[in-house]
Structure formats: C-alpha cells, structure tokens
Amino acid sequence: MSLAATVQVQQGGFRLDVELTVASAETLVVVGANGAGKTTLLRTIAGLLPIDEGTIAADGVVLDDGGRIAVIPEARSVGYVFQDQRLFPHLSALDNVAFGLRAGGSSAAESRARARSELDAFGVGDCAHRRPGDLSGGQAQRVALARTFVTRPKVLLLDEPFTAIDAMARPMVRAVAFARATAIGCVTVLVTHDVGDAPSPDTSIIELVDGRIARRGRVADFTQV
C-alpha cells in the first residue's frame, strides 16, 4: 500500500496546497502550527473533504481527482484517529471498537472477541464495558486507537493520537500502535506537535506553514536544531 496525494483545497480564506507521497508501509510525520492545514489534509485523504484540484491515490487507485469524490469514505479503508477521539457516546468502549467490524459484516460475537483483544493490546481491556463519558482522556484515546486499528485500515491517519495519554503510558501505547501499523502494513500519516512521537529518526517528515510544505526531511533533521 502506498499513498500519493496532490491536494489543493480552498476553505474560506485558507488554501491548502500540498504534494506528498508515502511509500508502502512507511510513515509520514506532519508537523506545523495550529491552522497550518494538518487536519484539513487528513480530512481530504479520508474523503471527508473533497479536494478542488489534484489527485489522491492509494496503490494507484484514484480516490479523489478534484472533480468529485471517486471513492466514498466508507469504501476507502482509511482509518482515522481523531484528535478529540470522537467515540460514540451511546456505546461501551467494547462496542465502539466492535463498530467497524460490525459495519464490515462480521458477526456480533466475532466482532466483540476481536474488539476485546484489541482493547487488551492497548492496555484498556478493563474499560471494555464503560461508556466514553466515564473514561479519562488517555483511556478514551487508547480506545479510539483500538477502534481504528481493529479494522486493519490500508491508510492510517493519526491526528495527535498520543497527546491525551499521560507520559508514563505513552511509550507503551506508541510502541503498540507502530507495531500494529507494521503488522498491518498500512501507510501511516501522523500529525503531531511532538516529533518525538515519530516511530524512528529516519521517518519522513514535512512541516506545513500556511497550507504549504515549508520543509521536508527526516525526523532526525528536525530534532537537530
């Protein structure tokens, strides 16, 4: 799985104009100030925001070519971990994680069994029967990660996925997330404020400034300032 995107989109006074490629099973880190267009970029790749011009393609399959959304979000196999989690408030943590599997046609029993082991992998198995309103920010974030990973997406979009998790648990959650991404073989786009969240110093990174790529390189280049 690889991702190639040339994205031009106008939103009010803001214009996003970005070209990027992510090779098979690789991660791209996206940094930039608030309002630089990081989340807008993720939304275009997920198909939640149509692009005005350009092309978004995964493995050569065009998802959006600027004229219309060619592949609707639910058919893209794109996993999106939102910055504010966006867990379904009416479902338990377990049913949140099982949601995507149920939507994909798995039986209730199988979905729940797989959801349970995914929650365990992220260290929140004991929260399975709690509603999102009863979870801490860090627990909710881990449930959100489990909910996305369990569907084994081909393209993984992570928007500040570790910010809400406390410093003690963060290395473990990061390690689990990147190990799962490697196992699935998905392309990962990681939006973060902290380059320390990157899986390795060799990971590709871009910096967005006002909707454009101001700098490209390796994570190591960005840490040696």
For residue 69, give the DSSP letter: B
> Rule CB under 8 A: which residues touch another protein?
46-48, 72-80, 82, 84, 86, 88-90, 99-100, 102-104, 147-148, 151
CB of 24 to another protein, least distance (A): 21
Nearer residue to another protein within complex by CB, 14 or 88: 88
Task: State the Cα–Cα distance between residues 99 and 111, nearest whole angstrom.
Answer: 8
CB of 43 to another protein, least distance (A): 8
CB of 99 to another protein, least distance (A): 6
Using alpha carbons only, give the angle 75, 206, 51 rounded to the nearest 5 degrees.
40
Q: How many residues does the chain have?
A: 225
CB of 112 to another protein, least distance (A): 15
CB of 86 to another protein, least distance (A): 4
Nearer residue to another protein within complex by CB, 151 or 203: 151
Distance of CA 153 to the CA centre of its chain: 10
Nearer residue to another protein within complex by CB, 80 or 222: 80
Q: What is the number of alpha carbons within 13 Å of residue 112 lying toward its C-beta?
A: 8
CB of 58 to another protein, least distance (A): 14
What DSSP string runs through 88-135? Answer: -TTS-HHHHHHHHHHHTT--HHHHHHHHHHHHHHTT-GGGTTS-GGGS
Nearer residue to another protein within complex by CB, 45 or 205: 45
Task: State the Cα–Cα distance between residues 64 and 71, nearest whole angstrom.
Answer: 7
Nearer residue to another protein within complex by CB, 21 or 83: 83
Nearer residue to another protein within complex by CB, 78 or 195: 78
Nearest to 48 by CA among 88, 14, 16, 76: 76
